Amino acid sequence: MSSPNLVGLLPAELEDLAVELGASRYRGRQLATWIYRKGVVDLDAMTDLAKEFRTALAERAEVALPDVERVTPSQDGSRKLVFRLQDGARISAVLMPDDDRITLCLSTQVGCGFACTFCLTGTMGLERNLTAGEIVGQLMVANRMLEGEARRVTHLVFMGMGEPLANYDALVTSLRILTDVKLGIGYSPRRITVSTVGLVKGIERLGGENLKVNLAISLHAADDETRNKLMPVNRSWNVEALMAAIRTYPLAPRQRVFFEYVLLAGVNDSPEAAGRLARLLRGVRAKVNLIPFNDWEGAEWSRPPIARILAFQAVLLDAGITTTVRWSKGEDIGAACGQLREPILA
């Protein structure tokens, strides 16, 4: 049985551990600073901690990050990071540069159990949840990679492999570590976006955590008939139930809910479908990201022509809804939206 990983423990839990080992809570705060603020995972390098304390830590726990199995660069500057976890499972994360902004797309599960029909990741099924340490570790490794370029991840999106709200406890723990400005990694919640296929209970719980992170909804259809075909989750929580949860999600001033909408030719891309979406979002502080379908081998869908994509966008813009067409980065390396899939085990 492997030792517990200090990466993924809340700063308060590191303080508790320090006390258990006979040290002061202050030593736990120093430990959190080394790991999360400085990104150091070698206990011997934590020079202001007593040697006896470091020895006791090493006997009790480990400080481990996921191993990078490979990095695949894209022509657009994105990089797909494939991590190999301690049990041999593999997950992906994607680094996406855009001027001064570098966004990291994180995974929360090995595979995904929600089987959205247009998503390659959904064909894997669900192997297991990630730990908070495996989630936070993806960011720590990415920032280490960027150190040599004097850069750092600026924005985080939980849109990689898996459904974040189906791994709720590890998600919330990782968000608390990421947003803790004193002893955690210190990201602004406004720079973090959590995406969901529409787990209503999870949205309601997340809204009560006072985390203030952005919420993104994988919507893809504004009517139940179409959404049932695309997303089995809609049979558990239909569009009406989903929108009711969204309307109660607490938003800061100028904060909006993001709606992800993959455009599939002949399925959900008509002007009528755009009109339904505009009516559904009336009164919601919303931004719509239209994502032209990213093809993968064996997919039954195709991308609409550009004219049809722009016509769909125009309907929403005319209705006063902020709408962008998001041409996914990393499509040439299988790292675009809906393309992440890795062999589950070595």
Q: Are residues 251 and 163 in the same domain?
A: yes
Residue with tokens 């459904």: 163
Q: Are residues 164 and 281 in the same domain?
A: yes
* R_g over Cα of the chain: 21
Q: Which ranges in the chain belong to alpha helices (H)?
A: 11-20, 25-32, 51-60, 132-147, 168-179, 200-207, 224-230, 239-248, 271-280, 306-318
Average pLDDT, the chain: 92
CATH for 29: 1.10.150
Distance from C-alpha of 40 to C-alpha of 246, rounded to nearest angstrom: 39
Q: Are residues 184 and 46 in the same domain?
A: no
- Residue 293 backbone zone (phi > 0: left; psi -120 to 50: alpha; other: beta): beta
Task: For 135-171, write each residue's pLDDT tens digit.
Answer: 999 999 999 999 988 899 999 999 999 999 999 999 9
Q: Are residues 96 and 178 in the same domain?
A: yes
What angle in degrees, to the nearest 10, is found between the helix axes of 132-147 and 168-179? 40
CATH for 91: 3.20.20.70
Q: Are residues 183 and 55 in the same domain?
A: no
Beta partners for 318?
none
Q: Are residues 47 and 123 in the same domain?
A: no
pLDDT category at 313 given cuts 50, 70, 90 is: very high
Total number of domains constituting the chain: 2
What DSSP assignment string belongs to 179-211?
A: H-TTTS----GGGEEEEES--HHHHHHHHTTT-
Q: Are residues 73 and 32 in the same domain?
A: no
Distance from C-alpha of 173 to C-alpha of 155, rounded to nearest angstrom: 18
Task: For 17-73, write each residue's pLDDT tens digit.
Answer: 999 999 999 999 999 999 999 999 999 999 999 999 999 999 999 999 999 999 999
Q: Are residues 15 and 132 in the same domain?
A: no
Q: Are residues 148 and 34 in the same domain?
A: no
What angle in degrees, to the nearest 10, is found between the helix axes of 51-60 and 11-20? 110
The answer on pLDDT for 265 being more than 80 is yes
Task: Note the pTM of the prediction, 2 decimals.
Answer: 0.92
State which residues form the domain around 50: 11-60
Task: For 172-227, write each residue's pLDDT tens digit.
Answer: 999 999 999 999 999 999 999 999 999 999 999 999 999 999 999 999 999 999 99
Is residue 339 in some structural domain?
no
Q: Which helix (H) or strand (E) holds 104?
A: strand 101-105
- Classify 128 as helix, strand or coil: strand
Q: Are residues 165 and 198 in the same domain?
A: yes
| Tokens, residue 163 | 């459904």
Of 103, 91, 179, 108, nearest to 143 by C-alpha is 103
